[in-house]
Amino acid sequence: MFRSGSVLIVPLVLALASPAASGFEETAVRTSYEVEVLKDISYYEGPDADPVKHKLDLYLPKGKQAFPVLLFVHGGAWMSGDKNYFFDVYGKVGKNFARQGIGTVVTNYRLTPKVQHPGHIQDVARAFAWTKRNISRHGGDPSQLFVCGHSAGGHLAALLATDPRYLEAVQCSLKDIRGAIPLSGVYNLPPGKLFDNVFTADAETRKQAMPLTHVKGGHPPFLILYAESDFPLCDRMSEEFCTALKKCSCEARVERIKERDHLSIIAHVGNAGDPAVDLMVKFIHGKSSAK
Q: What pLDDT does residue 89 have?
A: 94
Task: Yes or no: say if 55 and 43 are a contact pair by the CB < 8 Å rule.
Answer: yes
Task: Yes or no: say if 198 and 248 are a contact pair by the CB < 8 Å rule.
Answer: no
* C-alpha span between 73 and 221 (Å, rounded): 18
pLDDT for 107 beyond 60: yes
Strand order in the sheet with 55-61: 35-42, 55-61, 103-107, 67-73, 140-150, 177-183, 222-229, 252-261
Phi, psi of 198 (to 5 degrees): -90, -50
pLDDT for 23 beyond 50: no
User: How far separated are the first and last CA of the chain, in Å rounded?
Assistant: 34
pLDDT for 21 beyond 50: no
Q: What pLDDT does residue 291 have?
A: 60
Phi, psi of 181 (to 5 degrees): -135, 80
- Pairing mode, if any, of strands 140-150 and 55-61? unpaired
pLDDT in tens, 193-214: 889 999 999 999 999 999 999 9
Q: Is the pTM of this model over 0.85?
A: yes
pLDDT for 129 beyond 80: yes
pLDDT for 289 beyond 80: no
Within 10 Å of residue 53's Cβ, how many Cβ atoms?
A: 19
Residue boundaries of the structural domains of the chain: 5-289
pLDDT for 1 beyond 70: no
Q: Considering only CA atoms, which of 118, 225, 133 is closest in space to residue 163? A: 118
The correct CATH number of 5-289 out of 2.60.120.10, 3.40.50.620, 3.40.50.150, 3.40.50.1820 is 3.40.50.1820
- CB proximity list for 86: less than 8 A, separation 6 or greater: 12, 13, 16
Burial of residue 45 (number of CB atoms within 10 Å: 0-12, 13-18, 19+) = exposed
Give the CB-side neighbour count of residue 195, counting CA atoms within 13 A. Answer: 20
